[in-house]
Amino acid sequence: MKEVILIVILVLVIGAGISVFYIQQKLKRISRAAFGTDSLIEGIKKQEELAAERPKSVSGMTKLCLPRIIKDFPEFSYEEFLQKSENQLKEALAAVENQDMACLKNPSPDLKNQIRLWIEDDKRQGIREKFQNIRIHQSAISRYEKAAGCCTVVFQSAVEYRYARWKKEEKEPELKKKQTRYDMEWVYVQDVEKLPEKMKAFGVNCPNCGAPLKNLGAKFCEYCGLAMETINIRAWSLHNIEEN
């Protein structure tokens, strides 16, 4: 009886060994076909390294969108908005890295609030982030929309940097190259009364202290006393920066 059991166990072991062998051979064939190497793990690692070196593509709709924008806003300067978008993106990442709002130069109230919340969230979680050797490969208009009360132009940039994110009590990790995209959303408020209810506060805040303006025709902020210009309501404002 013992001999029979041993034979059964031996057969099972041999069968398992043969199955493992065939599985390994199949994985090698798959890896060789997909990555050009016998090791699936090595192949995946190589793909990750290649992805870190290959810039992201952008949704370039400039040729389609720009004529429509110029028709609606003859004074719109594509090069100026492109440069502003890229500069404010770099400033926003620097502000997050240094956890210092002073890195942002003349941000809109909305962008200022977005980056402030990002920094506060990192501080609350005890997180540090680092963005080094920032390089913008390409930027283009990706979207132009007209809605009730406002117009929106979105610039998209393909961005490369060396990045790390870690807990403050941990040792700072090695920076790794990252390829990503960012959307920069510019908004022009034409008629506050036509804006959706959730956007009523947009564009009608004091640019100095952020207090809401109760009267759109107000010449001074009733909280900090800053002189207000009604044209601010109808100016382009970088509303949001979002990684895509």
Domains and CATH numbers, the chain: 2-51 (no CATH), 58-243 (3.10.450)
Q: Classify residue 209 by its DSSP letter.
A: T
More confident residue, 95 or 206: 95
**How far apart are the C-alpha atoms of 31 and 29, rounded to whole Å?**
5
More confident residue, 215 or 105: 105
Query: Are 165 and 175 spatial neighbours (Cβ–Cβ below 8 Å)?
Result: no
**How far apart are the C-alpha atoms of 170 and 151, rounded to whole Å?**
45
Lowest mean pLDDT among 34-43, 152-161, 217-226, 229-238: 229-238
Provide the pLDDT for residue 170: 93
The residues facing 237 across adjacent strands are 187
CA 107 → CA 23, 34, 75, 95, distances in Å?
57, 46, 21, 12
- CB neighbours of 51 closer than 8 A, spacing ≥ 6? 179
Residue 149 has pLDDT above 90, yes or no: no
- 66-73 mean pLDDT: 94
